[in-house]
Amino acid sequence: MRIWHQSFTVLDDVPHYRDALARHLAAQAAPGTKVDLHGMQPGTYPSDYPGTHIGHAYLAGLHKEQFVQAALRAQDEGYDAFLIATIPDTAFEEVRTLVDIPVVTFGQTSVLMAAQLGDCVGIVNFIAALEPQLRRNLRNYRLDALVGPITQVDAAFTDVMAAYDDPEPLLDAFRTAARRAIADGATVVVPGEGPLNVFLADQGVSRVDDVPVLDSLGTCVRVAELRAAQFAATGLHPSRVGFFGSRPERPLVDAARSFYGIPQGLG
């Protein structure tokens, strides 16, 4: 089985994260499953990396095209599932209408699985600008009643990368933020971005006090394996009804993308 993992980061720009991610997902996957890591194209983020883009609707939306191209390639190349490995679930609605292979997303999957461990999901992240996207997504998924506090770790992206060499400051900052979420009612915690999730898993963090901390990306790999097995056995794929489900014919998609000058070979 092959799973295409699509990150919102340029993975070669963050080798500590890339290498930890590869180790962790390989350890979580079942024997015979290969998770192939893919990131954004080099040069995607000319400004502060990548949080300033996440905080703007247009820029965040513009980057959806790399996820669309990646998903089309994944299906064309025979992958068994496509994993959108960023908590805002970038391009999920669009991708799900374009391919039949299972599409598994960080945000939706994390909340659904965390809700089996506690009745109030707290999200702890380090990019505050993500919260409006997450809240809107949760309303669209009709999962908003499951999620309570969204709190921020007192750290920046560079601090998370540096923590692989000096983990204690980030571990302390995460526990502090998680305890704020717990005090506000969270009974299970989801780490809110891939780099933070993988760092915590690498450090063996699975609880804060009596509250479980979900390994979101590890969970997504296991869900992708399940969905891929279902698809192979029964052809199970998403609804194809209505605006948010109907699948356009591939020549129509390719022609429209060509008209807008979208380069091929992304992802």
- The whole-model pTM stands at 0.94
Cα angle, residue 256 at apex, residues 8 and 133 outer, rounded to 5°: 35
Average pLDDT score, the chain: 93
Could you tell me the pLDDT band of residue 267, with boundaries at 50, 70 and 90? very low
Whole-number Å distance between alpha carbons of 66 and 51: 17
Average pLDDT over residues 29-33: 96
Hey, which residues does 105 pair with through a beta bridge? Answer: 84
Per cent of the chain over pLDDT 70 is: 96
Give the pLDDT band (50/70/90) at residue 157: confident
At 128 the three-state DSSP class reads helix
Q: What is the DSSP letter of 213?
A: B
CA dist., res. 133 & res. 76, Å (int):
30
Does some domain include residue 83? yes
Q: Is the residue at 267 inside a domain? A: no
Compute the average pLDDT of residues 179-206: 94
Q: How far apart are CA 177 and CA 154, in angstroms?
A: 8
Does residue 148 belong to any structural domain of this protein? yes
Q: Minimum mean pLDDT among 50-54, 122-126, 234-238, 260-264: which range?
A: 50-54
178 occurs within a structural domain: yes
160: which 2 tokens? 């998370």
Digit-coded pLDDT (tens) for 104-116: 999 999 999 999 9
Whether 266 maps to a domain, the answer reads: no
What's the pLDDT at 266?
45
CATH of the domain at 141: 3.40.50.12500
Q: Are 177 and 151 in contact (CB under 8 A)?
A: yes
Burial call 219-247: b when 16+ CB within 10 Å, e when fewer: bbbbbbbebbbebeeeeebeeeeeeeeee
A 10 A CB-CB count for 112 gives 15
Other beta carbons less than 10 A from residue 189's beta carbon: 29
Supply the range of the domain harboring residue 255: 2-259
Q: Is residue 104 part of a domain?
A: yes
Number of structural domains found in the chain: 1
Say if residue 211's pLDDT is above 60. Answer: yes
> Which amino acid does the sequence have at 111?
V
Confidence of residue 48 (pLDDT cuts 50, 70, 90): low
Six-digit token string for 9? 């980061």
* Token pair for 73: 């390639």
